[in-house]
Structure 1
Amino acid sequence: MNLLRFYKFFCWERIFVFFLFLIIYVQHSSEDVIDQWTRQGTALIEEAKIVGGQIRQCTCAEQRACIVEMQEQAMGCIDTCWNMFSKITVHPDKLRVCFGRADAIIENFIKCFEDNVDSCLPNFEDKKIPKVNITELFRLGVEKIEKTRKQLTKSLTDGPIRKIINTASEFGVCVKDCFLAKNPNKFCFDKKDCQPLLLDTKATKSLRRCTKMIDWKKESGDLCECSVKSGINDLHQYCPMLKLIGGGQKGKNKSTGK
């Protein structure tokens, strides 16, 4: 999977992705969005690999230190850029509260992924793994998000939903620029001269295991309702659909014993 997404290089993306959910679930509810992300993330990390390049695999202590550092940087950037949502609500502070629960959910998800993906070594050893160009991976990820945004807004008129998606995208760019400014020369993994190892099969298996802990569709419905209460009234028409999809999925899981 996409290294940046799961170690919160893209922690701001959850904000943008939520608004994409509103369109994706309504227009493509039969598709497994997580499966799409898995395929796309695998393709991105393969594309960002340096041909013939190798680097030492991080110890778990090194990996955790970098995750914590980047997480703190990204969260600081989110706070810095959050007022951009004043374009779509007069209460951006209330909207921020809505994502407080999302922060905790995604933190648990990332911790689960980290614990199950076996991407680090318990002790230091000079084990070489394929090297990924993190800056290029970051660029490709942002490029993919922008492409998705354009595809989703292509069929939309210049109405409120287009404005919401565009504002979320602008917010993402702001956070990205802020994050890069905090790392002008090297990322944490570059400084430690190591990287986590993310094997496609192991990462996919871990991803599926951890996503089962979260009812993404229900959470999106709840987040939609909270966003409406924070002043984004134009989302109101989408919340019942998201709640219905989330409730249907929950009922399905109960009936199948999953």
Structure 2
Amino acid sequence: MMIPSTKLILIACLSCLIYSTTAQKIKQCMCSDIAPCKQKFSESVNVCIDQCKSHASKLGADYGVLRQCFASKEHMIKATIQCEDAKLAGSCARVPGNMVNKRFEETLKLAAMSEMSNILQSSGVLNQVKPLMGTGKKFYGCVSKCMKIKSGNCQEKLKCGLDLPTDTVLVQQTKQCAIQSGFNTGVVRELCNCAVKAGVRQLAGVCDKIVIQ
């Protein structure tokens, strides 16, 4: 399914990192401090997706079948995460004392939704997929909240931030990492058609029009 699959990648790559730029400055996270947080977030992704399965069920999907659609591409998801981690390797501090702009997760979410809308618009299917986007937002919110709880609110307790590019650049980086890891037009169409077979009938007639570029 196009929207949840894209969000799964974004959540896995960025949830432990993201806040959007304001004038307020906070201390930069030490790499040694943020590493355990990233590990906790990574470990909680699948657990939280399962915990939020009711949102998929509301679309008429057989969650077990739908989950298998994405489980078959888990190696690509992991490759995407590794790619994004490499691009952001310099975002944490090796020595204390640096300050960075405070970031907020909400604006990253808006940037991600904007990019997804652009993909769907350019593919000519935005109006057909729009009814699913509300469920997609609720799914993202559910998973994000769950991951924060599972991590023990790690990022909030550290009270620090990372030296990150803009939200738009982050989204584009993640998109390019996903494409490089194999999430091309053919694979995304395959996932979408798999979701249709799992019961997400709203995507019928949409999948073979999607273009990733």
TM-score (normalised: structure 1): 0.57
Structure with greater proportional helix content:
1
**Counterparts of 1:149 and 1:221, CA distance in 2:** 15
**Counterparts of 1:69 and 1:149, CA distance in 2:** 27
**Structure 1 unpaired stretches of 5+:** 1-12, 19-43, 250-258
Partner in structure 1 of residue 28 of structure 2 = 56
RMSD: 4.0
1:124-179: per-residue Cα shift (whole Å, max 9, x none)?
A: 5224031424xxx12333455678899989x84xxx74443332233223223434
Partner in structure 2 of residue 173 of structure 1 = 141
Match of 1:79 among 22, 25, 50: 50
Match of 1:196 among 155, 162, 173: 162
**Counterparts of 2:188 and 2:176, CA distance in 1:** 19
Match of 2:199 among 231, 241, 249: 231
1:178-223: per-residue Cα shift (whole Å, max 9, x none)?
A: 345557xx842343454332246x9699658734343432221110
Asked if the contact 1:77/1:179 (under 8 Å) is kept, the reply is yes
Partner in structure 2 of residue 8 of structure 1 = none
Letter of the aligned partner of 2:4 in structure 1? I
Asked if the contact 1:56/1:126 (under 8 Å) is kept, the reply is yes
Paired residues, number: 194
Asked if the contact 1:89/1:232 (under 8 Å) is kept, the reply is yes
Flag the structure with larger Rg: 1
**Counterparts of 1:77 and 1:175, CA distance in 2:** 5
Partner in structure 1 of residue 4 of structure 2 = 15
- The structure whose RCO (Cα within 8 Å, separation 6+) is larger is 2
**Structure 2 unpaired stretches of 5+:** 8-17
Residues 58 and 167 of structure 1: is their aligned pair in 2 closer, same or farther, counting only changes over 3 Å?
Answer: same
Residues 50-199 of structure 1 mapped to structure 2, 5 A cutoff: 50-51=23-24, 53-59=25-31, 61-120=32-91, 124-133=94-103, 137-142=104-109, 156=127, 161-182=129-150, 187-199=153-165
Letter of the aligned partner of 1:67 in structure 2? K
Residues 214-253 of structure 1 mapped to structure 2, 5 A cutoff: 214-242=182-210, 245=211
**Counterparts of 1:216 and 1:85, CA distance in 2:** 23
Percent identity of paired positions between Structure 1 and Structure 2: 19
Asked if the contact 2:91/2:164 (under 8 Å) is kept, the reply is no
**Counterparts of 1:143 and 1:57, CA distance in 2:** 24
**Counterparts of 1:149 and 1:166, CA distance in 2:** 13
TM-score (normalised: structure 2): 0.67
**Counterparts of 1:113 and 1:146, CA distance in 2:** 19
**Counterparts of 2:35 and 2:23, CA distance in 1:** 24
